[in-house]
Amino acid sequence: MPGPRLPLAALAATGSALLVRRALRRRIGASPLWPLPALEEPVSGRPRSRALRLLVTRHERIADGVVLLRLEGAALPGWEPGAHLDLVLPSGRVRSYSLCGDPADRTAYTVAVRLVADGRGGSREAHELLRAGSEVEVRGPRNRFPLADAPEHLLVAGGIGITPLLPMLRALDAAGTPWRLLYRGRGRASMPFLDEIGRLDAGRGRVTVSDGPGRPPLEALFRDIAPGTAVQVCGPAGLMDAVARALPAGCAPHRERFTASVEPGGEDTEFEVELRRSGRTVRVPADSTALAAVRAVLPDTPYSCEQGFCGTCRQRVLEGRVDHRDTLLTDAERAGSMLLCVSRARGGRLALDL
Ligand code: FES
């Protein structure tokens, strides 16, 4: 029997961002708007998106620290606003970027990449190595953040989180569906697509650009939100948590996270993973991940973000205790599965359904 459902504001008052995120995840995760990969099928039987090699035909700085990449091919798979593409970077790193071009254009995909100077190197590779004339392998597109079906929309973007929302804005505007946008950033020079957003707004006051300090409180923006309005948020976890806290009761956002959210766990120690269906056992060194060890023997094992927020690497656990280090899975999901990219073993050994 599930326990009483606390209002999100009450959870927020506990000061635990984790509780708020889990509560949101449970409420959103129950809907098809944020599905996790199903675990019923073996990996070998899971439908996989085709890998494509595309040509970079445009590499253009469109804001401070942001480049726009146009990746051309022929008869490309279609996509809908909110979809993302996995880029296999020259080093083999895989990074997901939201598509921000025109879904009707089947000759090219467009993504915008913000340079994360202290990141793990993926964005720097995209900035420095994916020059016009180079080729890049892509997988997808996939959509875990579709445009909700609603009579009105409020979109909230934090920084580069504008990228999946821009095609949504264009689609809403073309359909005549009422929309408003709150676009937050550190400063206008670093906020891409402001010109196009201004053109879409056409002076009708539907866009609030909030840059730098002295931002108006979110509650003021959300006070007059009409019943049934869909709220779609994309940006850093802090912004999404703040939006969830500020929304009126009964209004939960659809959201996409752009930064890792990993729970601190125990000490990193070596452990073993038995891949029961494959009859193999792999060793996971203290300085590596279960995902890397599993992919060394099962290279088709799916993954994407490698940071514990997309859910792509989720696998069924048959035996052993897991040191869960994600903030994505619900308690029920944690009871029988784990995210290989961040979580580890408690007790030296795990057995997986692989
Ligand atoms: Fe994204 Fe593991 S690869 S959660």
Sign of CA dihedral 206, 210, 214, 217: positive
Question: Using one digit for the tens of pLDDT, what is the confidence trace for 164-185?
Answer: 999 999 999 999 999 999 999 9
User: pLDDT exceeding 70 applies to what percent of the chain?
Assistant: 81
For the question of whether the overall pTM of this predicted structure is more than 0.75, the answer is: no
In eight-state DSSP terms, residue 161 is: G
Question: Could you tell me the distance, in angstroms and rounded to a whole number, from the CA of residue 119 to the centre of ligand 1?
Answer: 16
> Does the CB atom of residue 339 touch ligand 1 within 6 A?
yes
CB of 313 within 6 A of ligand 1: the answer is yes
pLDDT band for position 258 (cuts 50, 70, 90): low
Q: Is 303 in the pocket of ligand 1 (CB under 6 A)?
A: yes
CA distance 55 to 72: 5
Taking residues 292-302, report their average pLDDT: 92
The closest of 242, 186, 168 to 9, measured between CA atoms, is: 242
Task: List all residues 6 or more positions away from 215 whose beta carbon is below 8 Å from its beta carbon.
Answer: 184
Q: How far is CA 142 from CA 58, 138, 200, 201, 288, in A?
A: 22, 11, 26, 28, 27
The answer to whether 223 and 246 are in contact (CB under 8 A) is no
Ligand 1 atom at shortest distance from the alpha carbon of 302: 3
Q: Confidence band (pLDDT; 50, 70, 90) for 307?
A: confident
Domains and CATH numbers, the chain: 8-142 (2.40.30.10), 153-257 (3.40.50.80), 271-352 (3.10.20.30)
- To test the pocket of ligand 1, the residue of 94, 144, 312 to mutate (highest count of ligand atoms within 8 Å of its CB) is 312
Ligand 1 mutation pick, 142, 301, 306, max ligand atoms within 8 A of CB: 306
